Amino acid sequence: MPLRQQHLRVVQKPGVTTRPNLSENPELKALSAAEEAICADLHCHSTASDGILSPAALVSRAKSRGVTLLALTDHDTVGGLPEAAAACRRQGVALVPAIEFSSRWGKRPVHIVGLDIDPNSPALREGIALRERLRRERAERIATRLEKRGFEGALKGARALAGDGVIGRPHFARWLVQQGYVEDSGRAFKRYLGAGKVADVKVEWPQLSETVACIRAANGVAVLAHPLKYNLSRTQLRSLLRDFAMAGGEAIELLCGRQNPVQTRELRQLMEAVAAELARPPLHCSLGSDFHQPEQPWRELGCVRLPEGVQPVWALLGR
Ligand code: AMP
Ligand code: MN
Ligand code: MN
Ligand code: MN
């Protein structure tokens, strides 16, 4: 049975907000079927990409923080899912098989989460393989630039920190910290890895429409990740939401990490305005911590509540 069917059983009930049907999994019976029992964190990272905790340790932490519905959304990989699935089974947490795809809206990098994807789908496999190559090539170019600056051994160091996981800029950042070149990862981005800095290597990630199509081909739900993190003006954000919905995107992360309530309200209004303009129902809403590591209290695993009146993304899971 495909992973997604094994670990996420969801029923569609006409006229009722759908929710994971936990009754088939005996360990989950205690959670009850009540909507209030769902404590969802649908965005987090493990050592399969740039997180610090192994998938199993991540699941334990989520469990201890009351999470009942968890999506592991590693960057461009599903490599952590089998371990997460086994841990979720042991701990009585419902797992949503997921991924956070690196993508592009025009020239701007954007991230698209695929929830409830079939990890074995050929389209998904292809999307992952392409990004694996892009990441490998980028890592080599980043390292060349850092090494020219005198940071010898950057590639070896970053690769060692990535281990079996996919390599990303945070591994370079952590290596720079480990070597004592910078105090913390934030400064590594600010000085070397961030936009416009010496090791800022542009990547031609697949376009948004292609990414959404790939997620849909894998039977998943495409979710626009952290819409407020792209430093867009209101007009640009509105245009991104419109393009995303028109490409077949079905949900946005209304809440991601620590967020100011005024921004959340504005994002919701923007989403509703776009729906009115396109004469269709508003996108569904997802939420997540974007947890990468302990000691970052603003991005701790756990759940926050969606505001009244929005359609939760879990209504779309298990189709
Ligand atoms: P990559 O996926 O390799 O392009 O790297 C992007 C990741 O780097 C994000 O998912 C964050 O985990 C991390 N990141 C981005 N900007 C910063 C920053 N300013 N400080 C620390 N980490 C960052
Ligand atoms: Mn990350
Ligand atoms: Mn992201
Ligand atoms: Mn993320």
d(C-alpha 230, C-alpha 110), whole Å = 7
Looking at ligand 1, which atom is closest to the CA of residue 167? 3
Q: What separation in Å is there between the alpha carbon of 90 and the centre of ligand 4?
A: 25
Q: What pLDDT band is residue 293 in, cutting at 50, 70 and 90?
A: very high
Residue nearest to atom 20 of ligand 1 (CA): 186
Q: Residue 36: its pLDDT value, please?
A: 66
The mean pLDDT value for 180-196 works out to 97
* Mean pLDDT value across residues 48-75: 98
In the block, tokens 């999994």 appear at: 25
User: What spacing in Å lies between the alpha carbon of 271 and ligand 1's midpoint?
Assistant: 26
| Residues that place a CB less than 5 A from ion ligand 3 | 111, 225
Q: 234-249, pLDDT tens digit by residue?
A: 999 999 999 999 999 9
| 35 pLDDT tier (thresholds 50, 70, 90) | low
The mean per-residue pLDDT over the stretch 11-25 comes to 39
Q: Is pLDDT at 7 greater than 80 in this prediction?
A: no
> pLDDT for 92-115, tens place per residue?
999 999 999 999 999 999 999 999
pLDDT for residue 303? 87
pLDDT exceeds 80 at position 140? yes
Helix/strand/coil (H/E/C) assignment for every residue in 81-146? HHHHHHHHHHHCCEEEEEEEEEEEECCEEEEEEEECCCCCCHHHHHHHHHHHHHHHHHHHHHHHHH
Which residues contact ligand 1 via a Cβ below 6 A?
Answer: 50, 75, 102, 168-170, 185-186, 189, 194, 292
How far does residue 51's CA lie from ligand 2's centre (Å)?
Answer: 7
Residue 40, sorted as left (phi over 0), alpha (psi -120 to 50) or beta, turns out to be beta
Residue list, CB under 5 A from ion ligand 4:
100, 290
Closest CA to ligand 1's atom 21? 186
Tell me the pLDDT band of 298, cut-offs 50, 70 and 90: confident
Low-confidence winner among 11-15, 146-150, 178-182 (lowest mean pLDDT): 11-15
- Give residue 284's pLDDT: 98
Beta bridge partners of 104: 109, 207
For the CA of 71, the nearest ligand: 4
Q: What is the pLDDT of residues 192-217, one digit of tens each?
A: 999 999 999 999 999 999 999 999 99
In this predicted structure, what is the pLDDT of residue 297? 84
Total residue length of the chain: 319
Closest CA to 138 of 49, 205, 225: 205
Tell me the per-residue pLDDT of 112-131, one tens digit each, with 9 for 90 and over: 999 999 999 999 999 999 99
